[in-house]
Amino acid sequence: MKKRILSAIVMILIFVPLLLLGGKIFALFMTFLAVLGLYELIHIRESKKEFPFLIKVFAYVMVVFFALSHFDSIEFIYTMDYRVVAFMIFIFLSPMVFIHDYKKYNLNDALFLIGSVLFIGLSFNLVIICRNYDIMYIIYLLLITTITDTFALFTGMLVGKHKLCPKVSPKKTIEGLVGGTVFGTFVASCFYVTAINPTISLPFIVIVSAILSLVGELGDLVFSSIKRYYDKKDFSNLIPEHGGILDRFDSLIFVVLAFIIFSSVL
């Protein structure tokens, strides 16, 4: 427990100053985390079969490109250069023709890499864009994920009896889900009304915050499902007692993806 708390303190001491600083430094830091996140996905997949080295190198280059797309914009822009996407698809699919060995590289491998690069690259890019647009929005999203996760854990430990998804995450309970959502929604909604937009409809922001809270818990379960599929406890051991980057950012990744759906009305 002491090591877990110490690791959490170190993460906070690194992340919070960079978040407050923003700009290119924060963008580069989040891109670095995106590369580590992609590494964890590739590494966990390679527990069953390795990818060709050059294809992995290209995947890392592409995730950097997507993560840094419009990184210096102060507007909430989320556009994609389809020429780059098309180029990436060609690069990942073409090796199947030249390798001639489906055991070394096949369609499943290509689609896994395409999906992983887009998923990780665009998710971390949205965190960067959200921070550039207004730090209050990223704090709002972080409050949702942090408070939801914290109170889901405490509620589950105190009164949890009914399992939520025992095959995916044996320790999560329905009571924990409810407790996490209630507290996450309450704290995030109060913050939004106080620090971002005091004139917004209270019922509306409560509903949006509740949806984002539930989406965050869904993200946690989705990433747990990936680990269960590959029979892994954590994505990596990068952070002592916490696992890897994707173990810490699983909820935020889903929340920031869901947030863009509501961004035009918030």
For 11, other C-beta atoms within 10 Å of its C-beta total: 13
Per the CB < 8 A criterion, the answer to whether 249 and 238 are in contact is no
CB neighbours of 39 closer than 8 A, spacing ≥ 6? 60, 236
Contacts of residue 154, defined as CB under 8 A and 6 or more positions apart, other chains included, come to 179
Average pLDDT over residues 30-42: 96
Residue 11: per-residue pLDDT: 85
- Band (205; pLDDT cuts 50, 70, 90): very high
* pLDDT 10s digits, 150-188: 999 889 888 878 888 888 888 889 999 999 999 999 999
pLDDT of residue 263: 82
- Looking at the predicted structure, is the pLDDT value of residue 136 above 90? yes
Segment 194-211 shows an average pLDDT of: 95
* Residue 168 exposure: Cα atoms within 13 Å on the Cβ side: 15
Mean pLDDT of the chain: 90
pTM of the model: 0.91
Angle of helix 202-229 relative to helix 245-262, nearest 10 degrees, comes to 140
Q: What are 217-244's pLDDT values in tens digits?
A: 999 999 999 999 998 888 988 887 778 8
Q: In which element (H, E) is residue 164 found?
A: strand 163-165
